[in-house]
A and B are shown apart, each in its own frame.
Chain A
Amino acid sequence: MSLAAIIANLPALVVVVPLLLAPVAALIPVSGAAWVIAVIGTGGALISAWLLQGAVTGGVSFSYHLGSWPPPWGIEFVVDAASALTVLIMAALSFVATLFARRALPAEINERDAGKAYSAWLLASGGLAGLVMTGDAFNLFVFLEISALSSIILIALGAGTDRRALVAAYNYLIIGAVGATFYVIGVGFIYAVTGTLNMADLAERIPQVQQDTVIIVGFGFMVAGILVKAAVFPVHIWLPAAYAFAPSAVSAMLAAIATKAALYILARILFTVFAGVPDVTALALEWVLVPLAIAGIFTGTILAIYENDIKKLLAFSSVAQIGYIALAFGIASSAGIAAGFIHIGNHAIIKGGMFLAVGGYFLALRSRVSLSAMTGLGRRMPITTTGFLICGLSLIGLPLTAGFISKLYLVRALIAEDMILVMILVLVSSALSVAYLWKIVEILWQRPEGDDVPLHGDETPALYLPLWILAIANLWLGVAPAPLVDAANRAAMHLVGGIS
């Protein structure tokens, strides 16, 4: 195949490369070889996503017709500023998590299952990329389920070290399936009155439909379903256990990319598909999304302060951070949506990095990483701990880190819309998040009362290099945030542009 043909098919390659390599990985019984396949799959997706982002930076957006069937009859993959940015963030993070998985994944699961685990891994990352790329409302459901089922398998693999992973995976399956079915019900209602499934076509036809009630019902079902997948409070209940009991590498990947894809879908549905009925979406944003987001921010932060298990603590913190992103989308101004996209990127590198560090601790301790088990680890694993701290400081939003940029743009967008009370709540919750981070920092540098727990193996580059890639990304995007901010602004302009 010539180079030109490859470039013309880039939008499909982002999704197809991981999906096609998944069955190959499943057939390979050797863990190392299966890992190579996973690296090729996620790496191929990353290169494609990078080239796509380069293509849309110039302001072009194009659509890829699968099987050469033109939309609205065929399924199209939409490449625009918003989807290319999200796909690039997700592909980069899943690639870094894959690098970490080489040592971490085989240590926590049965060696013989490694090939199948990498297969599920590739399915999850390919499915999530497809979720973002697709311009077809029903095709989106299929990708939603591909990624959900493979994530559930990956979470259940955590049973190798803790059997509670099985219950966490089961609960995610039930809640996730109900959420996805809600989404399908919504699509059914909308299809019944518009007769189309293509998102761009839907955006055109929805304002012409006279039956408002059906549109409102369909909209409600679709948004409710996506909120479940995005783990927005109060339907986040599957998330803490799922992230806490999954294998370390899986936690890092899911925390970095899984909910981000769903949040992107939320933005797309709110600001593109239903742009023609602004009174309905405004109502949902003002009375549902913003209050839930604020409730989620506080619930997540407060639960994190009282949590003792580090992975669960980080998962609760994720619930709070998802709240920030949802809140930013809830502002609904172009600046607010841009802030949401900035935080999608920044939270991915922050939380991905923190989970990678906890994975490093876990492999050294060979037991669940609780606060007390971490006593004095700062001295004994300085490289991992420094990376963890950089990501942690970024999480609370210290200047010169990526997290600060997120908070800055979020607060700016809130002030611009005169949402002063909400802004104060955001600042208070940021201050509260210092509490749980400080708790960890303190214990990391404390001397243990008795003898040190024996560590299994020294720090190896295989485990701390991926972490440091993300830690440096945190610092870099904190000092020179222009690329991400510009891309996020373009994404926001593109989405809101759909309204006019």
Chain B
Amino acid sequence: MIDPVSIITDSWNYLIVICLMMGGLFIVISQNNLVKKLVGLAIFQTSVFLFYITVGKMAGGTAPILLDSADVAYSNPLPHVLILTAIVVGVATTALGLALVLRIHAAFGSIEDDEVLTIKAEAALPRVTRAASETDSEARS
């Protein structure tokens, strides 16, 4: 017989992971705003970080520094290191995504997905190449 209370208390971290993961993915899929999509993506990735850390942590475990006493429990350091790398990757992804949103805003005047799509359909004309527009502005001045 599985006790529902013990499920919550024993796997508290995993429940949080599931909530964050599904919430984040839902935001990515459902939101129209490009920045909100990125927020959802960041939450989704964070849930994975928490998952790894939870797997690596041992109750009562200490940092993996060799101690003389025999009955010391160590937490697994590897997941922590992996997640340091994953955090860096996540930050880079978010930064690149935000940079793209800035450029999309400059080019389309909107950061709502559906509006950008309709603009795309209306004005499928190629934007003047930057080199060409520079010569234009020189000619004007």
Contact = CB atoms under 8 A, between A and B. Distances in A.
Interface of A: 108, 110-111, 138, 141-142, 145, 149, 152-153, 156, 159-164, 166-167, 169-170, 173-174, 177-178, 180-181, 184-185, 188, 191-192, 197, 367-368
Contacts of A367: 126
B97 A145 contact: no
A162 B127 contact: yes
B48 A163 contact: no
Nearest to A367: B126
Contacts of A188: 48, 51-52, 55, 79
Interface in B22-79: 25, 28, 34, 37-38, 41, 44-45, 48, 51-52, 55, 78-79
B127 A178 contact: no
Given A161-B129, A162-B127, A152 B48 contact: no
Contacts of A184: 48, 86
A110 B97 CA distance: 21
B9 interface: no
Provide the main secondary structure of the chain A interface. Answer: helix
A434 to B, nearest CB: 29
Contacts, number: 89
**List of 10 A-B pairs having minimum Cβ-Cβ separation, nearest first:** A163-B107, A145-B89, A170-B100, A163-B127, A192-B55, A166-B104, A162-B126, A177-B93, A110-B130, A166-B103
Contact of B45 (A111, A177, A192): A177
A142 B117 CA distance: 32
Contact of B103 (A110, A149, A156, A368): A156
19 contacts: A110-B131, A138-B85, A141-B86, A153-B96, A156-B103, A162-B127, A163-B108, A166-B107, A166-B108, A167-B116, A173-B93, A173-B97, A177-B93, A178-B28, A178-B41, A178-B44, A181-B45, A185-B48, A191-B55
Nearest to B52: A188
Contacts of B78: 197
Nearest to B93: A177
B96 A138 contact: no
User: Size band of the B side of the interface?
Assistant: 35 or more
Interface of B: 21, 25, 28, 34, 37-38, 41, 44-45, 48, 51-52, 55, 78-79, 82, 85-86, 89, 92-93, 96-97, 100-101, 103-104, 107-108, 116-117, 120, 124, 126-127, 129-131
Contacts of B41: 174, 177-178
A36 to B, nearest CB: 22
B7 to A, nearest CB: 16
A420 B44 CA distance: 43
A177 B85 CA distance: 15
Nearest to B101: A170
Contacts of B45: 177, 181
A174 to B, nearest CB: 6
Contacts of B82: 138
- With most chain A CB atoms within 10 A of its CB, the pick from B55, B92, B101, B104 is B104
A161 to B, nearest CB: 6
Given A170-B104, A178-B25, A161 B126 contact: yes
Contact of B120 (A108, A167, A197): A167
B79 A191 contact: yes
B86 A167 contact: no
Given A167-B104, A167-B108, A170-B34, 19 more contacts: A110-B131, A138-B85, A152-B100, A156-B103, A159-B103, A159-B127, A161-B127, A163-B107, A163-B108, A166-B103, A166-B107, A167-B120, A173-B96, A173-B100, A174-B37, A177-B41, A177-B93, A178-B25, A191-B55
Nearest to A366: B129
A142 B82 CA distance: 10
B100 A160 contact: no
Nearest to A73: B78
Contacts of B52: 188
B2 to A, nearest CB: 15
B130 A181 contact: no
Contact of B28 (A111, A161, A166, A174): A174
B48 A142 contact: no
B139 to A, nearest CB: 18
